[in-house]
């Protein structure tokens, strides 16, 4: 019984590490102000304090803590995610995928895309 419990706890820990730190495949890093991203919904999932200091034009500010409650208010199905770090980006993209949204790209405000 102890072995079964240990396996359960270890697999639960591995799942949480996977969902936070392993990036979602097929989602490119794209500059939020590029012309190809003008037609997509820009969803800023950073904290309100950070998003207010570094505004992104035409974006919807909805911190990741509020996604579960207000995801139905996002006006489109194709989304460009704006996040402050990799963990926030991974959690936000996985949540949006589970709710039926198509994430077409992301931007990290602390990094520059390599394209």
Residue 25 lies in a domain: yes
CATH number at residue 41: 3.40.250.10
| Nearest-angstrom CA–CA distance, 39 and 90 | 23
Whether 31 maps to a domain, the answer reads yes
CA distances from 72 to 66, 96, 99, 101 (A): 11, 10, 9, 10
87 inside domain: yes
114 in a structural domain: no
Number of domains in the chain: 1
Considering the domain boundaries, does residue 72 fall inside one?
Answer: yes
pLDDT of residue 36 exceeding 70: no
What is the four-CA torsion angle of 107, 109, 111, 115, rounded to 10 degrees? 30
The residues, any chain, with a CB within 8 Å of residue 37's CB and separated by 6 or more, are 30, 31, 80, 104, 105
- Express each pLDDT in 54-106 by its tens digit: 888 888 999 999 999 999 999 988 999 999 999 999 999 999 999 999 999 99
Q: pTM of the prediction?
A: 0.84
Q: At what angle do helices 2-21 and 86-98 cross, to 10 degrees?
A: 100
Question: Domain range holding 29?
Answer: 2-108
């Amino acid at each position: 019984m102890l072995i079964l419990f240990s396996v359960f706890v270890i697999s639960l820990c591995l799942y949480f590490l996977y969902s936070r730190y392993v990036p979602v495949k097929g989602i490119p890093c794209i500059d939020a102000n590029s012309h190809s991203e003008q037609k997509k919904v820009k969803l800023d999932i950073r904290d309100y304090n950070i998003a207010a200091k570094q505004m992104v034009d035409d974006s919807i500010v909805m911190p990741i803590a509020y996604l579960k409650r207000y995801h139905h208010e996002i006006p489109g199905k194709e989304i460009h995610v704006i996040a402050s770090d990799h963990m926030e980006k991974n959690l936000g993209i996985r949540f949006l995928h589970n709710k039926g949204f198509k994430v077409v790209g992301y931007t990290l405000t602390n990094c520059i895309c390599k394209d």
